[in-house]
């Protein structure tokens, strides 16, 4: 896989950064995106220290114009694209009756529309190359639901339907499209959850520990490797036994 070219959206911290690090360790050149330019640049320097090229770009995946710029950046620096990891995601948690329209729009636009916009651009390059690996980040809550996460779980369930349909459209073109449904992974996103709720979640995990970004990164490495070339349209559950798909 050395020399392949990848995008990791939301690669500036958390799961996305762990994925970008793992790709760089394999000699894969990476572009990471995020909203905070300073954080993106410092993450890119750390990722590049693994020995491959890493560029950072401030790009909001929910905005078609930013995604267009991102793919111009890909063409300029890489000329081709082998791997797209649709990882950028946000939560705006609240009980349904307190959900505001702007929160609904923000989560759906980042998590779902962002995945659609980046995939559409990536597919244009990958279809020409007759090769591509796309991995989308879903979540265990797409399957089990979670009180207070109506918008987020809807967005993550939508990603699964999207993944399956794109996989079928491009199955004959050398492009695989799969999703990963993480359980509870320790990152800034989950650090915000109140301690009491975290304890409840921990009690629901048969392995008795939270997952790490590395657990997700290792699954990504499998899904982009030749070992998984006959796997498409699937969701891989990485959750310590929290939900058995
Ligand atoms: N942590 C978990 O337990 C868990 C479980 C299931 C699924 N997931 C999914 O895994 C993915 C990564 O989660 P995480 O826990 O690593 O989250 P995180 O620590 O909050 O990091 C989110 C990343 O997404 C970027 N981002 C947010 N909005 C963006 C936008 N509009 N355009 C571009 N980038 C944007 C952030 O950039 P900035 O740094 O600039 O803000 C950051 O790099 C998400 O899709 C999440 O839903 C996480």
Q: CB 1: neighbour CB atoms within 10 A?
A: 15
Look at ligand 1, atom 32, and give the residue with the nearest C-alpha: 60
Compute the average pLDDT of residues 134-140. 98
Query: How far does residue 135's CA lie from ligand 1's centre (Å)?
Result: 14
For residue 38, name the pLDDT band (cuts at 50, 70, 90): very high
Compute the average pLDDT of residues 106-127. 98
For residue range 174-232, what is the model confidence (pLDDT) as tens digits? 999 999 999 999 999 999 889 999 999 999 999 999 999 999 999 999 999 999 999 99
The number of the ligand 1 atom at minimal distance from the alpha carbon of 62 is: 31
Question: Would you say residue 77 has pLDDT above 90?
Answer: yes
Per-residue HEC secondary structure of 135-168 comes to: EEECCCHHHHCCCCEHHHHHHHHHHHHHHHHHHH
Beta bridge partners of 25: none
Domains of the chain: 5-238 (3.40.50.720)
For residue range 21-30, what is the model confidence (pLDDT) as tens digits? 999 999 999 9
Query: How far does residue 171's CA lie from ligand 1's centre (Å)?
Result: 28
For residue range 159-174, what is the model confidence (pLDDT) as tens digits? 999 999 999 999 999 9
CA distances from 123 to 16, 152, 214 (A): 20, 25, 27
Look at ligand 1, atom 36, and give the residue with the nearest C-alpha: 10
Reduce the DSSP state of residue 187 to 3 states and report it: coil
Candidate of 106, 144, 189, 201 to mutate for ligand 1, largest count of ligand atoms within 8 Å of Cβ: 189
Question: Could you give the CA distance from residue 198 to residue 204 in angstroms, rounded to a whole number?
Answer: 10
Look at ligand 1, atom 43, and give the residue with the nearest C-alpha: 10
User: Are the C-beta atoms of residues 180 and 199 closer than 8 Å to each other?
Assistant: no
The number of the ligand 1 atom at minimal distance from the alpha carbon of 182 is: 6
Going edge to edge, which strands form the sheet with 175-182?
A: 54-58, 29-34, 5-9, 83-86, 132-137, 175-182, 235-238
Q: What is the pLDDT of residue 245?
A: 81
Look at ligand 1, atom 46, and give the residue with the nearest C-alpha: 89
User: Are the C-beta atoms of residues 158 and 114 closer than 8 Å to each other?
Assistant: no
The number of the ligand 1 atom at minimal distance from the alpha carbon of 213 is: 16
% of the chain residues with pLDDT over 90: 97
Compute the average pLDDT of residues 136-145. 98
Q: What is the pLDDT of residue 69?
A: 98
Q: Where would I find the beta strands (DSSP E) of the chain?
A: 5-9, 29-34, 54-58, 83-86, 132-137, 175-182, 235-238
């Amino acid at each position: 896989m050395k020399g392949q070219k990848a995008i990791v959206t939301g690669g500036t911290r958390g799961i996305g950064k762990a994925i970008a690090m793992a790709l760089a360790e394999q000699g894969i050149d990476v572009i990471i995106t995020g909203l905070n330019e300073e954080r993106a640049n410092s993450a890119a320097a750390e990722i590049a220290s693994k020995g491959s090229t890493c560029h950072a770009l401030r790009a909001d995946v929910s905005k078609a114009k930013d995604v267009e710029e991102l793919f111009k950046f890909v063409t300029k620096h890489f000329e081709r694209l082998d791997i797209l990891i649709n990882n950028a995601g946000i939560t705006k948690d609240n009980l349904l009756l307190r959900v505001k329209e702007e929160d609904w729009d923000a989560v759906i636009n980042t998590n779902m529309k962002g995945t659609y916009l980046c995939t559409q651009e990536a597919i244009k390059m990958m279809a020409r190359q007759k090769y591509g690996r796309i991995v989308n980040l879903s979540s265990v809550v797409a399957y089990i639901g979670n009180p207070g996460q109506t918008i987020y779980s809807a967005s993550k369930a939508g990603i699964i339907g999207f993944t399956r349909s794109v996989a079928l459209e491009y199955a004959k073109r050398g492009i695989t499209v799969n999703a990963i449904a993480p359980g509870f992974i320790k990152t800034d996103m989950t650090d915000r959850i109140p301690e009491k709720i975290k304890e409840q979640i921990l009690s629901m995990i048969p392995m008795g520990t939270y997952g790490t970004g590395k657990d997700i990164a290792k699954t990504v490495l499998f899904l982009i490797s030749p070992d998984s070339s006959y796997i498409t349209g699937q969701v891989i559950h990485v959750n310590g036994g929290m939900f058995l798909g």
